[in-house]
Amino acid sequence: MASRMADRRPKRRRGANEPDPPGTAPRRAALRLIDAILRRGDPLDIAAHAATQGLGGADRAFAIAIVSETLRWMVDIDSLIDGATAQQLPDDVKSRAVLRIALAQLLLLKSSPHAVVSTALPLVAGGPRRLVHALLSRAQQEEWALPDRASLPHDVAARWAAQWGDGVADAAAKAWSAPPPIDLSFAAEPPSDEWSDGVALAPNHLRLARGRAVESLPGYGEGGWWVQDLAASLPARLLGKGDGRRVLDLCAAPGGKTMQLAAAGWDVVAVDASAKRLGRLSDNLDRTGLTAQVVQGDVRVWEPETPADAILLDAPCSATGIFRRHPDVLHRIEARQIADMAELQAALLDRAAHWLRPGGMLVYATCSLERAEGEERIAAFLADHPGWAVAPVLANELPGGIIPDPSGFVRTLPGMLADVGGLDGFFMARLRAPSG
């Protein structure tokens, strides 16, 4: 009886100077990271550098995995939290953030329940530890579970349903529920005997199942390929073979399209404002053995020395089309950011229009699912630039399952190629400059 009574005594609270339980550091980093994303609006890949300082590689990867899954399933995790509390916790209170990342570990990453609880409590020092402990205990006792698919943030679901219909919004939720496969672009057609597990969706392109480290794939050191979603590979494809002609790759970093263009025989001038991102582009060129002239410059003020035969403008955008790979995007981007991006895109298009030879080709692309950054942007450009015309994309220029729209543009949407892993959301337009 004495032993049983002892078990019922409240556990001793940690002293202020006691060390955190093992495994707390990556969870604390995850808490810092999700705060930077949700409160400050920082992109995950940028915020992760500061939030995970001092962590080893495995702990850093774990912290990012916690945050990625938390963001992907946050709407549904919040529903579980709100259904178990008499008074709803404010969205920005630390205890909700701790519960979010703890439940992501329990329900998605299948972490040890003891480790989840013991490392969660130090994160709410000075806060409602009893509430956090009680809810995590209840989650285990009642065997809480998430739905079969992750729910989109409500404003995003409504916006996409209005633009594309309920079917696309529904497909987006399905696509968001799990990380996408690995897509590789090749400088030349890959040998089939080395890639028997890959699915060919387009020339010089393979899709692989997730679960393998990129650095371990065949030919990584030799640089014959680079990671690039199928949709992201399409804009460069629309320019065809270069045959030594000059192309400006504007806003080029980190260089996937630069490498495509170089491999297709173009004389590439790759321009980007960010020195850090251009460093990654140069590293990619070095690894692949491809060549391009790399220029640091803000396209809003930079000027080319001579007109180009073609231009690829992969414009800065809201990035809502790559939500599968960057689940933070749908929690950060609002109507204001979309409008700001559309204004910037208009300015970049206007400048690029002056840098082509007569009759030259310009491909405009955004990894966005917003009409304001795609169809509406090109309609406005054509209205303001007499003599410019759409060079319609033909069905035989695109992989199977992707077709041009009636205007000759390319719009990739959630639900396309879903049976083979889907693809990112992109808009592409090919335009021809006046001939004289």
Calpha distance 429→432 (Å, rounded): 10
Calpha distance 92→18 (Å, rounded): 27
Query: What counts of helices (H) and strands (E) characterise the chain?
Result: 16, 12
429 Rama sector, left if φ>0, alpha if ψ -120 to 50, beta otherwise: beta
Active site residue 367: yes
Amino acid letter at 18? Answer: E
- Bridge partners of 430? 363
Q: How far is CA 351 from the centre of its chain?
A: 27
165 Rama sector, left if φ>0, alpha if ψ -120 to 50, beta otherwise: left
- Bridge partners of 184? 206, 227
Calpha distance 203→206 (Å, rounded): 8
Calpha distance 327→147 (Å, rounded): 17
- Bridge partners of 199? 207
Instruction: Give the CA distances from residue 115 to residues 62, 110, 179, in Å, rounded to whole numbers and listed in that order.
Output: 13, 11, 25
Is residue 29 within 8 Å of 63, Cβ to Cβ? yes
Handedness of CA 359, 361, 362, 363 (dihedral sign): positive
Calpha distance 197→195 (Å, rounded): 5
User: Going by C-beta distance under 8 Å and a sequence separation of 6 or more, which residues neighbour residue 120?
Assistant: 27, 98, 99, 101, 102, 132, 133, 136
Out of 187, 367, 378, 402, the active site residue is: 367
User: Going by C-beta distance under 8 Å and a sequence separation of 6 or more, which residues neighbour residue 430?
Assistant: 238, 361, 362, 363, 390, 391, 392, 393, 408
Is residue 239 within 8 Å of 247, Cβ to Cβ? yes
400: exposed, middle or buried (Cβ count in 10 Å: 0-12, 13-18, 19+): exposed
Secondary structure class of 36 (helix, strand, coil): helix
Q: Which residues are catalytic?
A: 367
